Amino acid sequence: MNENTSDHSAAAAAICEGRTALGIELGSTRIKAVLIDESHHPLAAGSFAWENQLKNGFWTYDLADAERGLQASYRDLCETVSSRYGVMLTTVGAIGISGMMHGYLPFDAAGKQLAAFRTWRNTNTARAAEELTARFRFHIPIRWSISHLYQAMLNGEEHVPSVAFLTTLSGYIHWRLTGERVLGIGDASGMFPIDSGTNDYDERLLSSFRELAAQHGLHRKLREILPRVAAAGTPAGHLTAEGALLLDPTGQLKSGIPMAPPEGDAGTGMVATNSVAERTGNVSAGTSIFAMLVLEKPLSRMYPGIDMVTTPAGRPVAMAHCNNCTSDWDAWVRVLKEAASLCGAAPATPELYDKLYQKSLEGAADCGGILTYNYLSGEPTTGLSEGRPMVVRRPEAQFSLANFLRANLYSTLASLRIGMEILFQEGARLDRLTGHGGLFKTEYVGQKYMADAMGIPVSVMATAGEGGPFGMAVLAAYQIWKNSGESLDEYLEQRVFQNADLSTVRPDPDGMAGFNAFLKTYQAGLAAERAAVMSI
C-alpha cells in the first residue's frame, strides 16, 4: 500500500469514527467549512459565496441566506469527503461556529427577529458610540453591538422595548444549532467591554448602561439581554436534533456533538495564526482589515482609533480595525477581466489575481504619483462617515498598469498603517506578525507590501488560505482534546503549530521609503476624499 493510499485510509477511519473537528465561519463574502483531523491537518473544505446588501440605509444579510449558506457549505464539504475518502460524514468530534463580529441582531422573548441584521460595516452609530465612550471612559467603536443598541434607543425605534436577546451572527447560528444563548469571549468583547480579570462583561459598565437604558424605554437588564460569555474550552452546549437537521437537512448528521463557544472572525484569525500569546500579533486582510496585538501591559490611555478586545482565552488585545480593504481591488479585477474578454481572453479568476499581484511588483515603490482610495463604506480610522472609491493622479504621474495596481494594493493597507502608528508610539512590542486572508493568497506580494507598510517582518503559514474556519476548527479541537490545565497558547504552540510551514518576508528599505511617500500623499489627499463624500 502506498503512502497516499495509507493516508487516505487513515483519514477515512478518523472521519467514520468521529476523530475530527469541524469549523464553520460566516465571513463577509464566503461561508466556509473546514474539517480537520487529530493532527489538526485540514481534510476537506466546503464553501458558499454571499454578499452584503445595502437595504433601507443599512448594510445587511438576510438570515435565511445565512442558513442556506450554512447548509450549502456543509453539503459541499460532505461531497468532498465522499469523493476524496469514499465515506459518508455522519458525525464529528466537535463543532465550532464563527462569524463576522459586532453588528446588531435583536430578538424578542419569543425569538422573533425585531430588526434586519445590521453588520459591522454600518457607520450610522457615531452619536451612540461617542456618548457611550464619554460615559464609560472606555473606547466604544461604532461597530460594536452596544453602539447599535444605544443608537436604536436614541432613534426611538419601536422595537427597542421588546428586545430580550441581542447577539452576533456566530451567536445566532450557535443558538439555532444548540438552543444555547452563549458567545465566545472574543466575540463577546465586540459587543460590550470585557473585564479580563473575571472573563465576563464589565459589571461597572453594565450598571452604568442600566441607568441610561431606562431613560430610553429598555427596562430589561443588559446582562439578561446579552449572551453568556464563555472562554475557549468552556462547555457551550451540544448539537440538538433540530440543529443537526438545520445543518444537514438530509438527516445523516447525528445530534449530541459537543459545540465550542462561538467566536468572532478576529478570534479565529488569532488562532489560525498562532497569535494568542503576549507579544504576538496577526493581521487579517480581506473585505475589512484589522491587526490584533496581544498586549504585555495595558495602553497608557484610551485611543479613539484602537479597540480593546480579547483573545478567545480572554487575554487583552489592542485592535486596529479598518472597514475597507480588498473590495475595491476585487471590483477592479472584475473590470480588467471584462476588458480581457473583449480581446477573446478568458483567464481563470485565480490566475488573473496572481498575474495582477505579480505585475504590481514592477511598479515604482511610491506608485509613480498615482493615488487611490478604496473606501466603499465609511472609514472611522480616517474620519470618513461614508466612502467614495476614487483614483487621483497629477498630470505628470507615471500612469502605468503596474503603478496603478501597486497603488490599489497600497491603498488596502494605508488606513491600517495610520491606526497602527498609535500602537507603535505606545511601544507595543511584537515577536512576530502573522498574516492571513485574501491579500496573502498570492505568494510573497501581499506579505512584501504589508512588511514594507508596517516596517516589521510578516509571516504567513501554509494554512493561511483556510483562515478563520481553520481557526474555528482548532478551537473545536481544543474543546475536546486539550489536557487538563493546558492553556490555549500552549495547545497551539506545542500541538498545532510545532512544525508549522512558515514563510517570512522582511521589510525592504526602498519599499518602506516608497510606501511612506505614498502614505504622506494619501493622508494629504484625504481632503479630496471628504469632498467627494460631500459632493457626490
Per-residue pLDDT of the chain (536 residues; tens, 9 = 90+): 344 666 889 999 999 999 999 999 999 889 999 999 999 999 999 999 999 999 999 999 999 999 999 999 999 999 999 999 999 999 999 999 999 999 999 999 999 999 999 998 898 999 999 999 999 999 999 999 999 999 999 999 999 999 999 999 999 999 999 999 999 999 999 999 999 889 999 999 999 999 889 888 888 999 999 999 999 999 999 999 999 999 999 999 999 999 999 999 989 989 999 999 998 999 988 888 989 999 887 788 888 778 999 999 999 999 898 989 999 999 999 999 999 999 999 999 999 999 999 999 999 999 999 999 999 989 988 989 899 999 999 999 999 999 999 999 999 999 999 999 888 888 888 887 899 888 998 999 999 999 999 998 999 987 655 678 999 999 999 999 999 999 999 999 999 998 888 899 999 999 999 999 999 999 999 999 999 999 99
Decide: 371 and 407 in contact? Cβ < 8 Å: yes
What is the end-to-end Cα distance of the chain in Å, rounded? 67
Of 195, 167, 146, give the one whose Cα is nearest residue 100: 167
Q: How far apart are CA 466 and CA 483, in angstroms?
A: 25
Query: Helices (H), strands (E): how many in the chain?
Result: 18, 22
- The pLDDT value recorded for residue 1 is 33
Q: How many CB atoms lie within 10 A of CB 417?
A: 25
Decide: 455 and 423 in contact? Cβ < 8 Å: no
Decide: 479 and 260 in contact? Cβ < 8 Å: yes
Residue partners of 403: CB distance under 8 A and separation at least 6: 363, 364, 367, 368, 369, 370, 397
> Residue 493, SS3?
helix
Output the CA–CA distances (angstroms, integers) from residue 27 to 6, 50, 61, 244, in the order listed: 34, 9, 11, 21
Q: How far apart are CA 276 and CA 286, in angstroms?
A: 20
DSSP code for 197: T
Residue 183 has phi, psi (to 5 degrees) of: -150, 140
| Domain 266-324+419-505 CATH assignment equals 3.30.450.370 | no
Of 257, 247, 295, 268, give the one whose Cα is nearest residue 422: 295
- The pLDDT value recorded for residue 3 is 43
Q: What is the CATH number of domain 3-263?
A: 3.30.420.40
Rg (CA), the chain: 23
- The pLDDT value recorded for residue 465 is 55
Which three three-digit cell numbers place residue 289? 482589515
Q: How far apart are CA 132 and CA 319, in angstroms?
A: 19
DSSP code string of 106-135: EE-TT--B-S--B-TT--TTHHHHHHHHHH
Decide: 247 and 253 in contact? Cβ < 8 Å: yes
Question: How many CA atoms, within 13 angstroms, populate the side-chain half-sphere of residue 188?
Answer: 28
Decide: 186 and 312 in contact? Cβ < 8 Å: yes
Of 52, 75, 252, 90, give the one whose Cα is nearest residue 169: 52
pTM of the model: 0.82
Q: How many CB atoms lie within 10 A of CB 110?
A: 7
- The pLDDT value recorded for residue 286 is 86
- The pLDDT value recorded for residue 438 is 86
Q: Where are the domains of the chain?
A: 3-263, 266-324+419-505
- The pLDDT value recorded for residue 201 is 98
Q: Which residues pair with 280 in a beta bridge?
A: 432
Of 215, 213, 318, give the one whose Cα is nearest residue 266: 318
Q: How far apart are CA 267 and CA 471, in angstroms?
A: 8
- The pLDDT value recorded for residue 101 is 93
Q: How far apart are CA 392 and CA 384, in angstroms?
A: 18
Which three three-digit cell numbers place residue 85? 475518502
DSSP code for 397: S
